[in-house]
Structure 1
Amino acid sequence: MTDRSTAPTTVIDQLGVSAALEHASAGVYAVADSGRIVWVNARALDLLLLGADDVIGYDSHDLLHRDALGRPVPRENGGLRQQSDRQADRQTDRQALRAGRNWYPRGDGTLLPGQWFSLPCEANEQGVVALVAFHPAEEPKPDAARPAPSPRALSEGERLALLADTTAQLISNVDVHGALRRVVELMLPRLADWAVIDLIAEGDEVTRSLVVQAEDSVLRTREDLQGPMPPIPASSPMPLSAALRGAASALAGPETYDGPPDTGIAVEQRRLFEATGIQTAAIAPIRGPHEVVGALTLGRTRRDEAFTTGDLALVEDIARRIGIALENARHYQRQRQIAATMQRYLLPQLPQLSGVEMTTRYLPAPDASHVGGDWYDAFPLPAGDTALVIGDVVGHDLEAAAGMAQLRNMLRAYTWSQDNPPHRTVQHLDQAMRHITDVRMATLILARLACDPAGHWILRWTSAGHPPPLLVDYDGVTHYLDEGNGLLLGTGTDRPRHDAEATLPPGSTLVFYTDGLIETRGELLDTGLQRLRRHAAALAHRPLNSFTDRLLERTRPTDNDDDVALLTIRIPLGTP
């Protein structure tokens, strides 16, 4: 028999629950779309008396599903649906649980009667489509040392179902605080009458973030009991204070806080028990992978339904799942804030032009790792013209943001120091980029805006593979300025570049943008361009700031995972 050590958890790291599942009291394994097992926790190996090499890579049905006589069972009675049914599950109800009973063949030749639960999930890079949890069907013999279960104690199957539902809510919702509300809805009233979540902020400040009561099967949020809390005491033995420091879970009741309070948190806990009528509570730390992020309190109002020490393991399991989701969300927010802050500092202030309005918008990508490459620029030139730039460095990360800064600074220097037409400046930038930057490829438009002696505004531009600017007349007539096109930067091809020129009508609006405004998966580029055109025409008479805000709001695809840079210019109606 091979070494019974758990397989690496990397295949389910994307689901954000590998740490919690490793410590689950049930056996759990992950199944790919092919039906093969790609991950298994230590508890499953203990139950099966097998090693990881005996399980990983094998078909889950063929390996694990038998009847009472050890014979294979029909595949439709196994832990997963047929492939076509799994596809239907993912399209209709991704959170639907399946459950059943069968006998598991063990490494010593015996059969383990068991009950299983299968939870469909979104496929990740490893193809994981379901998590299957199982536990022995035979109830353990009573232990005189164990306390009797409370009247509201859940069966093992109900506990697994609750944990599976909790995991599904936390891994399938980007809004973690919204997911916490849904997790509370799963716990109340079947597990408790009250749920309280206290969270620790970045500066070690504590906030009572959520207090919910189940009353006649209706959940009510008690905002009067929510709000800031006193700081975490360094040594108080009281249950909540200890949980916020990461100590073990504990039971509590009104009598716990009858004596003189030792800290401000004890005062708040006494107030909570008095206001809610909680007679028995289970309090557990909310731990993430690296730090304690809060505490979970579940309360019951009847003493004959008192929590016991046997309930604490379930409360800890739920709190652990909440902690992983919260810490991952905080890490995501930090990364996004760093990238967005870096981007904002790199983007310039706009120059003042007599009579001409100009405004910009930058919208970070929803995913922190996708922030970085888009930029706009506008600056005066020695000859009196104004340079206008919109660009996008290939890539979506902080490296792309750094590359964008390199290109922007080089382009500014070339444009200012050499009074060349736009296409010549871009040629120099393309040649230099290959030798003195880390940027592989980029698109951009460089334009010069000038007012001739007759008061006409003239735009001269060249494009290096960038989406064309949109010109919107005062009357709502639109057309794309798709002349002056050339290859994107970084191709290594020295093909000639050209300029284009247009006279901008009075009252017209010029829109420069990056592809995040118009592109979405599964949609033709022309569809996004037409959408931009229609909305821009409808907004033609709006003030420029309102025009830009509404255009960004209405045009950007809802499922877009790219950042967006937008530069709009409004030409005056009369001569300057």
Structure 2
Amino acid sequence: MRSADGLLEVGFMRAVFDNLGAGVFVVDTTGRLTSCNPRAEQLLGRRKEQMLGHDMHDLLRRRRDGDTIPRSESGPLTVLESDQPVEGSEELFLRGDGSLVPVIWAATPLRHEGRPEGAVIVFHDFSLHRDAAEQTAAYLAALEGLTARLTMVAEVSKVLISALDTPEMLNRLAGLLVPDMGDWVAVDIRTAEHSGEMRRVTVRTTGDQEAAEALTGPLPSLPESSRSPAVQTLRSAEPVFLDAHALAEQPDSPLASAHRDLFDRLGGSCAVVVPLHTRRQVFGALTVARVAPDASYSEAEVFVLADIARRAGLVMEAAELSEQQRHVAEIMQRQLLTPLPQVDHLTLAARYRPAESAAEIGGDWYDSFLLSDGALTMVIGDVVGHDLKAAAHMAEVRNMLRALAWDRTEPPSLVMRRLDEAMTHTSDAPMATCVFARIEGPEGGPWQLRWVNAGHPPPLLVTTDGHARFLEGGHGPLLGLNSALHLGLSWPDSYADLPPRSTLLLYTDGLVESRTRDIEAGLAMLRRHAAALADRDVEDFLDELLERIDPSGDDVAMLVLRTPEAGVGAGDEEAPPQHAHSPAAANRGAPGSRVEDTPVRDTSEPA
């Protein structure tokens, strides 16, 4: 069995199977044996080929006289009906030579992604205990040991898979190992792959936790050379066992002294230092120590700890690669967030907020530019996917739309049709949603919106008196479907007047939809807050919307337009300053042609 991220693999399961000192069975939901460990074969005198595929009840369960037991009689397989852990000791299993072996057992439901997959049954030979007192003590100890080990395995798996960030994962992992594997645990990591700088991120103990936390923080740099075994493990990526003799040696570097300080403050007669690593690099070291004078670590325990640390290293590497991907995607998106044009007293503003998770970043974009006939465009879109590839596809679709819109003067519906065909025949970009609009009208107004909507949340129009309505027209299929599937559908052009001092908002679904709120509730919230902010300037309008709605999870793009008072801009003798490279410079005098670049703010930290 392995998790979706591959965090529990054959090596780890072998360590659990081989070193519990007990037999382990895995059964499916019908009770058929699907897996067993070597200890199970030894205890039952049967090869696994003779057991796998057979019904466990029919194959193994017997009465003392050798007769079969009715299936309705309680036993390990009741776990399949109750879906709760069960345990017991009054059970006899049939060995391969026909003899019976008394066992104690514990059965735990096996679930994967919320679905029942069967059960895990752990059992131990109970025949070695001759008298009742010895049987009772061994029974309790065995059950406690089995339960604790199974619980730790399950919890370690959960922590490695579900922790939100690396420090949280390491802190929770250290807490799980205390006191099962040691009286205290410390985690030291390198702060950068090619840097010798070190930091102690967590110390967990069964004793004074406040004193343990005082030991966290920056550490001396990793020395170029050192005889200290604890320091050597960071160089060699090999586990090290520290006994009393090793702990008595004088440290030969500041980092070794900082490691020795753990034992001086927290005590310890022995310890295991295992590297947090992958094949590519060593991220740090995990130290697990026991305090009792006669304490020690078995070879199996060292192996399990080393394997856990390696799994943690894989998670750290995945987090590092994910953050690098997020950084690249953010840079790519920011490079595409070009300055916004300002045309004839029309005011534009935009915001982009990256996703909280690197797994969510990707396909949202906005755009605005002048067309060859002097009309102003507004675009908002979202390419399917949430990763670096989605960001690349977004750039591809955005640039195709810019080129097609400039290429010829035609209504938005025809631009959408050509974009859909271009995506199908010249690009591997997947489906996308998009609103493409033209702002049309003479200098000074009145202004009109002409748009199409390819499966995107509708634009929101807010008048100066606080009335807000969604513009539901212009809907057509998602981009990437119509031409590919020969659906014969179209994108109808829609029109709406833009009253003086009105506010037009285009946005992506991350603003109105989340895992905790459906899109209908999100749209209602957006309309309510936008209406209340109708009198704010466009910059405050966007900032307040983000603060009030507080979107989470997906990335968010927003583009807003504010029209001027009626007549403002008509008859102006002087046009606003123009850049020589702007489209308006080649179309001076055309309606809507005066332009200046307005910088765009996004709500994230600079890359």
- Report if TM-score (shorter chain) is over 0.5: yes
Q: Which amino acid aligns with 1:321?
A: I
Aligned residue for 1:529?
A: 523
Q: Which amino acid aligns with 2:205?
A: Q
1:109: how far off?
5.0
Structure 1 pair 176–237 and aligned structure 2 pair: CA distance change class (3 A) = closer
1:412: how far off?
0.8
Q: Distance in 1 between matches of 2:514 and 2:29?
A: 26
The answer (yes or no) to whether the contact 1:288–1:325 under 8 Å persists in 2 is: no
Stretch moving more, 25-34 or 15-24:
25-34
1:402: how far off?
3.5
Q: Which amino acid aligns with 1:348?
A: L
Q: Distance in 2 between matches of 1:535 and 1:35?
A: 57
Gaps of 5+ in 1: 1-8, 90-96, 142-151
1:528: how far off?
3.9
Q: 2:232 matched to 1:241?
A: yes
Aligned residue for 1:145?
A: none
Aligned residue for 1:194?
A: 184
Aligned residue for 1:330?
A: 317
Aligned residue for 1:124?
A: 113
Aligned residue for 1:228?
A: 219
User: What does 1:16-415 align with in structure 2 at a 5 Å threshold?
Assistant: 16-19=7-10, 20-24=12-16, 25-26=19-20, 71-72=68-69, 74=72, 77-78=75-76, 81-83=79-81, 85-86=82-83, 98-101=86-89, 102-105=91-94, 109=98, 113-118=102-107, 123-124=112-113, 127=115, 129=117, 132=120, 134-138=122-126, 155=145, 158-189=148-179, 191-200=181-190, 201-203=192-194, 205=196, 206-215=198-207, 221-231=212-222, 236=227, 238-242=229-233, 245-253=236-244, 256=246, 258-287=248-277, 292-301=282-291, 303-304=292-293, 306-310=294-298, 313-314=300-301, 316-335=303-322, 337-338=324-325, 341-342=328-329, 344-346=331-333, 347-353=336-342, 356-364=347-355, 366=357, 368=359, 371-415=361-405
Q: Distance in 2 between matches of 1:382 and 1:223?
A: 66
Q: Distance in 1 between matches of 2:46 and 2:386?
A: 43
1:32: how far off?
5.4
Q: Distance in 1 between matches of 2:283 and 2:99?
A: 44
Q: Distance in 1 between matches of 2:4 and 2:98?
A: 33
The answer (yes or no) to whether the contact 1:447–1:459 under 8 Å persists in 2 is: yes
The answer (yes or no) to whether the contact 1:233–1:241 under 8 Å persists in 2 is: no
Q: Distance in 2 between matches of 1:45 and 1:12?
A: 26
Taking structure 1 as the reference length, the TM-score comes to: 0.77
Kindly name which structure, 1 or 2, has the bigger radius of gyration based on alpha carbons: 2
Q: Distance in 1 between matches of 2:183 and 2:55?
A: 43
Instruction: Count matched residues.
Output: 537
The answer (yes or no) to whether the contact 2:29–2:119 under 8 Å persists in 1 is: no
The answer (yes or no) to whether the contact 2:460–2:470 under 8 Å persists in 1 is: yes
Q: Distance in 2 between matches of 1:513 and 1:60?
A: 58
Aligned residue for 1:144?
A: none
The answer (yes or no) to whether the contact 1:289–1:324 under 8 Å persists in 2 is: no
Give the CA RMSD over aligned residues. Answer: 4.1
Which gives a bigger RCO, structure 1 or 2 (Cα 8 Å, sep 6+)?
Answer: 2
Q: Distance in 2 between matches of 1:116 and 1:28?
A: 10
Q: Secondary structure at the match of 2:112?
A: coil
Alignment partner of 1:431 out of 397, 402, 421: 421
Aligned residue for 2:407?
A: 417
Q: Secondary structure at the match of 1:358?
A: strand
Structure 1 pair 534–116 and aligned structure 2 pair: CA distance change class (3 A) = farther
Stretch moving more, 273-282 or 55-64:
55-64
Q: Secondary structure at the match of 2:362?
A: coil
Q: 2:552 matched to 1:564?
A: no
Q: Secondary structure at the match of 2:379?
A: strand
Q: 2:495 matched to 1:497?
A: no
Structure 1 pair 66–551 and aligned structure 2 pair: CA distance change class (3 A) = farther
1:53: how far off?
5.7
1:14: how far off?
4.6
Q: Secondary structure at the match of 2:187?
A: strand
Aligned residue for 1:480?
A: 470
Query: Cα deviations across residues 494-551 of structure 1 (Å, max 9, x unaligned)?
Result: 3343222223345544332333444467986534433433444455566655654564
The answer (yes or no) to whether the contact 2:92–2:101 under 8 Å persists in 1 is: yes
1:183: how far off?
3.5
Query: Cα deviations across residues 371-404 of structure 1 (Å, max 9, x unaligned)?
Result: 4333322233344433222223334554444333
The answer (yes or no) to whether the contact 2:221–2:255 under 8 Å persists in 1 is: yes
